[in-house]
């Protein structure tokens, strides 16, 4: 307990401290608990307002989502138009991407099970500048996913071209209707 008050208020204050916001709630109740009266409408309104503010402030927070970065895939050369950001089936995936397996332990493409996972793709336009894409993080705000990546682009031109791409596989329990891409 953080403060000494009556038994009724102590039960209200007793919960597991999980976040810094929980501490703020405890401080709020400790500050106002001595004045707490179950029949006081103003106190009820104040408590409801404080809880609503807490709910709204926590609803806007973005949670980190785990993902697996895929390796040894390429954008097929017969793809016309843009590649969708979110891909949810093997048929759609194979329409845009091919496997680039080679010898050795790290030569196999990263496996994906579309019954349990979906893919998020970042595909940039064809370029003659050497470009590497790196995953930074994937966040969920409850309504959409935001995938942040970083692009390293070499300043010198090459005699060859490439289609820079980055694929990640995400568990379906984190699936949302929309995915936003954010390049840092």
| Tokens found for residue 103 | 């010898």
- Rounded CA gap, 11 and 146, in Å? 40
- Segment 120-176, tens digit of pLDDT: 999 999 999 999 999 999 999 999 999 999 999 999 999 999 999 999 999 999 999
Place of tokens 């501490």: 23
CA distances from 146 to 118, 137, 138, 169 (A): 15, 8, 6, 14
φ/ψ (deg, to 5) at 180: -105, 135
DSSP conformational letter for 123: E
CA-nearest of 76, 92, 91 to 163 is: 76
CA-nearest of 111, 160, 151 to 133 is: 151
pLDDT attached to residue 51: 63
| Tokens found for residue 33 | 């608990």
DSSP conformational letter for 65: -
pLDDT attached to residue 38: 55
- Rounded CA gap, 30 and 34, in Å? 7
Place of tokens 């973005």: 62
Q: Which residues contact 66 (CB under 8 A, 6 or more apart)?
A: 138, 170, 171
- Segment 80-109, tens digit of pLDDT: 999 999 999 999 999 999 999 899 888 999
pLDDT attached to residue 52: 61
- Segment 14-31, tens digit of pLDDT: 444 444 444 444 444 545
Does the structure show a pLDDT above 90 at 73?
A: yes
CA distances from 115 to 89, 94, 182 (A): 8, 15, 27
Q: Is-contact 85 48, C-beta < 8 A?
A: no
């Amino acid at each position: 307990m953080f403060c000494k008050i009556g038994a009724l208020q102590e039960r209200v204050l007793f919960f597991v401290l999980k976040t810094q916001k929980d501490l703020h709630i405890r401080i709020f109740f400790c500050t106002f608990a001595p004045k707490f009266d179950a029949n006081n409408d103003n106190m009820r309104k104040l408590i409801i307002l404080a809880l609503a503010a807490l709910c709204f402030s926590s609803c806007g927070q973005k949670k980190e989502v785990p993902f697996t970065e895929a390796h040894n895939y390429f954008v097929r050369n017969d793809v016309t138009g843009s590649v969708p950001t979110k891909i949810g089936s093997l048929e759609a995936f194979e329409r845009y991407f091919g496997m680039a397996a080679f010898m050795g332990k790290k030569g196999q493409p990263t496996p994906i099970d579309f019954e349990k996972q979906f893919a998020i793709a970042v595909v940039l336009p064809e370029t003659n500048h050497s470009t590497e894409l790196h995953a930074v993080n994937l966040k969920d705000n409850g309504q959409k996913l935001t995938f942040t990546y970083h692009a390293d682009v070499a300043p010198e031109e090459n005699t060859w071209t490439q289609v820079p791409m980055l694929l990640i596989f995400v568990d379906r329990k984190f699936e949302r209707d929309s995915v936003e891409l954010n390049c840092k």
